[in-house]
Structure 1
Amino acid sequence: MKQSVHANILAITQSGRLEFEAIILMASLRRASPDWCGRAILAEPRPEGAWAGHQTTLSDAGRAILTDLGAEILPFTATTFGAAYPQGNKIEALPLLPPHEPFLFLDTDTLITGPLDAIKADFSRPAASMRREGTWPQPPLYGPGYGAIWKSIYDRFGLDFDSSLDLTQPDEHWERYLYFNAGWFVGNDPVEFGRRYLEWARALRDDPHDELACQVMDPWLDQVVLPLVIHSFGGGRPGADLAGLDGEITFHYRKLPLLYALGTETQIAQLEEAVADKAIRRHLREWEPARKLIYQRKGREKVRPLFEGRPLPRQERAIRNQIRAKGWWLV
């Protein structure tokens, strides 16, 4: 059954960059999707457990702004990943959400650009973002290849490998194999989804099998395990019903300079309008990327002209390097 995305959104926040990105996320949600009435839950790791010795608590000013924007800030204690692998926050925070209810996880560096309530999706069929590059695996010269590496993981967890393949892609081409960007994913039971995600991610981290011997798992572990979890719940590549995510409704910009490099004029205007409020502006100006790129307009004046009217490099790394070479890689 297809359901509107009115249920529960989950994103991660903590002191520093994620606090400021969470404010952008929430401000853009309220501006671009005013009729959306679901819960927006921001998971805040406590400075204990796997985050012991690190400052994770939001500032009082940031917490007040996020609360005013309608966010529910819920603390959790990370026990498995924490500071050693911050991407694991998304895995360990999923049980904060109510069980047996549809959910949408969003990376905090996401701009809402359209009405989330316009999306109708069958959440019983999990899916995730296809806005990715062939970052993992990197098969060694003499093997194993893509197929053998991926099949070994499916076999380890008792999953059917062949049904996950995109047979329109050639053998040993990375897009043949189920691989997502973990910037957004959906499902219909966050507690069970999170339990399986944590169990399998911990297993691959702690006991990598032979086919993974030459593979780098950090920072890719969450994206390696995500397709397996999605496939195990009967999900797969997103269909047209989720096209608005990474489309007209959300923009996973990753880093603020990339928003000015890759975003449309409309998306950049939506960002700037969303954070024009006096209280938001006062707080975001404490964060150098926002102060210089948004409020001092260096994103428009310095970053955007590097790419405007020219073909973009095919790999994001090349775009980052061009911005960095000009001194505007502010993150």
Structure 2
Amino acid sequence: MLIVAQAGRLEYEAVIFTASLRQFSPDWQGRLLIAEPQPEAAWEGHHTRIAPETRALLEEMGAEILPFTARHFGATYPHGNKIEALFALPAREPFLFFDTDTLITGPLDRIAFDFGRPSASMRREGTWPDPPLYGPGYDDIWKSLYDRFGLDFAGSLDPDQPDGHWERYLYFNAGWFFGADPAEFGRRFLNWAIALRDEPGEVMACQSLDPWLDQVILPLVIHSFGGGRPGPELAGLDGAVSCHYRNLSLLYAREPDEVLDALETATAPNRIKRRLREWVPAHRLIYQGKGRKKIRPMFDQTALPTKERPIRQRLKNRGWWLV
């Protein structure tokens, strides 16, 4: 299992992730590898190393910290860490990647992964592409990518969705994904991401790739390895087993009560609390109780906005968007 952490917010989220994994999935027997970008190459001039206190706590909980050098993305596109970190993993061994802002809430060992058929998170919105009024449309944009990389476009479509609807096209949130070989998966992910970044082409000229580049390329890579949309055997992810909360303020605003309980249980031990109290969002929302007292009452859990943007905006307007 792979997550990425570096100095600042991500190292504190890595503590939450690791603590929740140990609390709620104690029978999971895999290795937890935390990839740490080094302050060189594409991260040169930036403080990226995890603080010694955090490092000691993560290792005490059984995590292994793996340094890696980001050569292609780094500070100019931090989302690229998840691509380049794959090369720090042992080749030819199945891998499972999680975004660090994820909470494990149930027994991960009971998820029936088929690593020969890669997949990824469907907890996403129609954030990309954004077709202009006079074209090209969804079909033209996505087909241009499949054609570019020699892939079967028709085989990626969801026939239950109408033409021109964003859910018809294979599109994931990169909050979790898995595959059979991180070296092969990573090589294809990296090469195609660089190719699209450096030469987007005419059809893509009207589309933003920042911050969407990783989520644009991920479905192509998964499709190329014979994978696709997750089946019912993976339902626990983004469900009873994991929660990609993205931001602690968002967690308190919109996640089920069970997720709040899991967060506060996993972070209650004194050794966890001593470190997380150094991070303002955790200190205020978890340990001072402001998440439940201030944020939770702002939102009717039976009538939440269907999009994330208005939730974020309300939190920002009330001064509760903490990062």
TM-score (norm 2): 0.99
1:101 is aligned to 93
1:308 is displaced (CA, Å) by 3.5
SS of 1:224's equivalent in the other structure is helix
1:69 is aligned to 61
Matched, 1:43 2:35: yes
Superposition map of 1:234-273 within 5 A: 234-273=226-265
Q: Is the 8 A contact 2:39 2:45 kept in 1?
A: yes
Q: Is the 8 A contact 2:254 2:301 kept in 1?
A: no
1:309 is displaced (CA, Å) by 4.3
Residues 158-203 of structure 1: CA deviation (Å, up to 9, x unaligned): 0010000001101010000000000000111111000000000000
Mapped partners of 1:285, 1:298: distance in 2: 14
2:294 is aligned to 302
2:314 is aligned to 322
Residues 6-46 of structure 1: CA deviation (Å, up to 9, x unaligned): xxx00000000000000000000000001111100000000
Mapped partners of 1:231, 1:322: distance in 2: 37
1:289 is aligned to 281
1:225 is aligned to 217
1:189 is aligned to 181
1:23 is aligned to 15
Residue identity matched to 1:323? L
Mapped partners of 1:287, 1:194: distance in 2: 32
Q: Is the 8 A contact 2:92 2:180 kept in 1?
A: yes
SS of 1:23's equivalent in the other structure is helix
2:25 is aligned to 33
1:147 is aligned to 139
1:215 is aligned to 207
- Paired residue total: 323
SS of 1:213's equivalent in the other structure is helix
1:264 is displaced (CA, Å) by 1.4
1:117 is aligned to 109
Unaligned runs of 5+ in 1: 1-8
Mapped partners of 1:178, 1:17: distance in 2: 31
Mapped partners of 1:330, 1:60: distance in 2: 24
Find 1:177's aligned residue among 169, 174, 179.
169
1:204 is aligned to 196
% identical equivalent positions: 66
Residue identity matched to 1:102? P
1:276 is displaced (CA, Å) by 1.0
Find 1:92's aligned residue among 78, 84, 89.
84
1:262 is displaced (CA, Å) by 1.6
Residue identity matched to 2:130? Q
Mapped partners of 1:160, 1:63: distance in 2: 44
Mapped partners of 2:301, 2:270: distance in 1: 33
SS of 1:43's equivalent in the other structure is strand
